[in-house]
Amino acid sequence: MNDANNTMAWHDLLSRPLVNFIVVLLGMAAAYFTTIGGIRVQLAEKAEAALVEALDCRLARMEVMISEGLINKDDFHEFRTTVESRLSRIESCLTDNKGDKK
């Protein structure tokens, strides 16, 4: 008889509007955070593409400057060192965060 009372109590509890409202709120919160996470991933992909585009533009300008003789050897080596250090930082960041995306 105790099992019957326990089952009735759970059934009454689950059918109450307050519990239903709380479950709906939790579902809405989960949907909100899932949507925000998806938007963050999309923005990160767009930002990454923009950075690659900017780097490509800068490299193209550097090629023009080299071909026209407007840049000297020391400036070119400084630029190369800067680009290499940035790329290695990006690579290490991507390597460290590789497990985050699934």
DSSP calls for 31-49:
HHHHHHHHHHHHHHHHHHH
80 found inside a domain: no
- Does residue 16 form part of some domain? yes
| Domain assignment of residue 86, yes or no | no
Residue 9: pLDDT over 80: no
Give residue-wise pLDDT tens across range 62-92: 777 777 777 777 887 888 888 888 888 887 8
Residue 102 confidence (pLDDT) above 50: no
Residue 67 lies in a domain: yes
Report the alpha-carbon distance of residue 58 to residue 80 in Å, rounded. 12
Domain range for 41 is 2-71
pLDDT at 4 over 60: no
Domain count, the chain: 1
pLDDT of residue 1: 46
Model confidence pLDDT, tens digit, residues 32-50: 888 888 888 887 777 777 7
Q: Does any domain span residue 84?
A: no
Beta carbons of 47 and 56 less than 8 angstroms apart? no
Distance from C-alpha of 46 to C-alpha of 43, rounded to nearest angstrom: 5
